Amino acid sequence: MALSSLPRKIARVLRRDGFFGTLQVIAKNLVHELHKHTPTGRAARNRVDPFDAKYGTDTWGQVEAGELNVDSEFYDLATRYEASWSGPFHRAMSSLALSFAELTFIDLGSGKGRTLLMASDYPFKRIVGVEFSQALCDIARNNVEIYRGEAQKTDAFEVVCDDATRFPLPDGPLLIYMYHPFGDQVMRRVIENIERSAAENPRPIRIVYMNPVHQGGYRDSKVLREVAEDPHFKVYQYVG
Ligand SMILES: C[S@@+](CC[C@H](N)C(=O)[O-])C[C@H]1O[C@@H](n2cnc3c(N)ncnc32)[C@H](O)[C@@H]1O
């Protein structure tokens, strides 16, 4: 994290979460920092990932939000970057029984873009990644540029460096993907953004929520309904 922006970030968290909440955020970041220097932490960082070795990409690793120089009021509510697992991802895609060619796939919190690459195994109309870290967006743009997969059906990729809470969703049918990218407070804002977009422009929208830790916003929604589940993910559909 850039040290110059630290006081501003701490002041923000203090305003939002109070003194004890701020202590928790600092403790979480300290634990992570210490773990990085343990033998397990070092081994994980030095591991060569078979996917990256095969395709020459850089999608492996874990990056804590605190390590990214992100200027968003939600930066400390972000989960760390780590790539989706291929098994559950492809299981989710096969469970959908949709006509992919009409759909725009959007990964909210796309990180280094591994999911965008895996999504290109399906003939989506467009594949869009939305990520608020400029550093991760740059890596993802390089990855989509160099990736050549045997099963790849499209290279209509776009990586947008923006906050998922305010990203203007494109027209047309959407498949929105999220791999546990943020806490409940941010998820609720993202859901409001989806609901607003759907109310202004009603269209088919499905959401795949991988590792669905924060389901409260979906349960409270009047227009998003759970239509499928798996031990690893939930699928919601816009029914407004
Ligand atoms: C668990 S990673 C998932 C990466 C990718 N979607 C995948 O499945 O491989 C979550 C990502 O969400 C990003 N993120 C968290 N909060 C965000 C926000 N408010 N706007 C945009 N990106 C965000 C993080 O920086 C991180 O890269």
- Which residue's alpha carbon is at the smallest distance from atom 13 of ligand 1? 109
CA of 230 to the centre of ligand 1 (A): 21
CA of 171 to the centre of ligand 1 (A): 22
DSSP state letter for 222: S
- Which residue's alpha carbon is at the smallest distance from atom 16 of ligand 1? 78
Specify the pLDDT at position 85. 95
CA distance 191 to 196: 9
Measured N-to-C along each axis, helices 39-46 and 6-36 cross at an angle, to the nearest 10 degrees, of 100
CA distance 31 to 188: 27
- Which residue's alpha carbon is at the smallest distance from atom 15 of ligand 1? 78
In the predicted structure, residue 5 carries a pLDDT above the cut 90:
no
130-169, pLDDT tens digit by residue?
999 999 999 999 999 999 999 999 999 999 999 999 999 9
Domain limits at 221? Answer: 86-238
What number is the average pLDDT over the span 10-19?
79
What number is the average pLDDT over the span 189-208?
98
Q: Which residue shows structure tokens 């929208």? A: 205
Mean pLDDT of the chain: 91
Same domain, 105 and 180: yes
Tokens of 14: 């203090």
Specify the pLDDT at position 73. 80
211-228, pLDDT tens digit by residue?
999 999 999 999 999 999
Q: Is the CB of 66 under 6 A from ligand 1?
A: no
Q: Is there a domain that residue 62 lies in? A: no
Higher pLDDT among residues 11 and 185, named by residue: 185
Please list, residue by residue across 74-96, b when 16 or more beta carbons sit within 10 angstroms of its beta carbon and e when fewer do: bbbbbbbbbbbeeebbbebbeeb
Same domain, 26 and 126: no
Cβ count near 171 (within 10 Å): 10
CA distance 123 to 118: 11
43-102, pLDDT tens digit by residue?
776 777 999 999 999 999 988 877 877 878 887 788 989 999 999 999 999 999 899 999
Choosing from 182, 187, 191, 192 the residue with most ligand 1 atoms within 8 A of its CB, the one to mutate for a pocket test is: 182
Please give the model's pTM, rounded to 2 decimal places: 0.86
Same domain, 107 and 188: yes
Specify the pLDDT at position 203. 97
- Kindly report the CATH number assigned to the domain that includes residue 194: 3.40.50.150
Q: Is the CB of 67 under 6 A from ligand 1?
A: no
Same domain, 11 and 93: no
Choosing from 84, 131, 192 the residue with most ligand 1 atoms within 8 A of its CB, the one to mutate for a pocket test is: 131
Q: Is the CB of 182 under 6 A from ligand 1?
A: yes
Q: Can you tell me which atom of ligand 1 is nearest the CA of 165?
A: 19
* 144-151 contact pairs (CB < 8 A, 24+): 144/113, 144/116, 144/117, 146/55, 146/56, 146/57, 147/55, 147/57, 147/117, 147/120, 148/55, 149/55, 149/117, 149/120, 149/121, 151/121
HSE toward the beta carbon, residue 215, CA cutoff 13 A:
14
Same domain, 148 and 232: yes
Specify the pLDDT at position 6. 74
In the predicted structure, residue 40 carries a pLDDT above the cut 80:
no
Is 225 in contact with 198 (CB distance < 8 Å)? no
95-120, pLDDT tens digit by residue?
998 999 999 999 999 999 999 999 99
Same domain, 118 and 193: yes
Handedness of CA 72, 216, 93, 64 (dihedral sign): positive
Specify the pLDDT at position 4. 67
Tokens of 59: 């999608």
Same domain, 128 and 19: no
- Which residue's alpha carbon is at the smallest distance from atom 27 of ligand 1? 111
* Total domains, the chain: 2
Specify the pLDDT at position 2. 56
- Measured distance between the N- and C-terminal CA atoms of the chain, rounded to whole angstroms: 42
Specify the pLDDT at position 83. 96
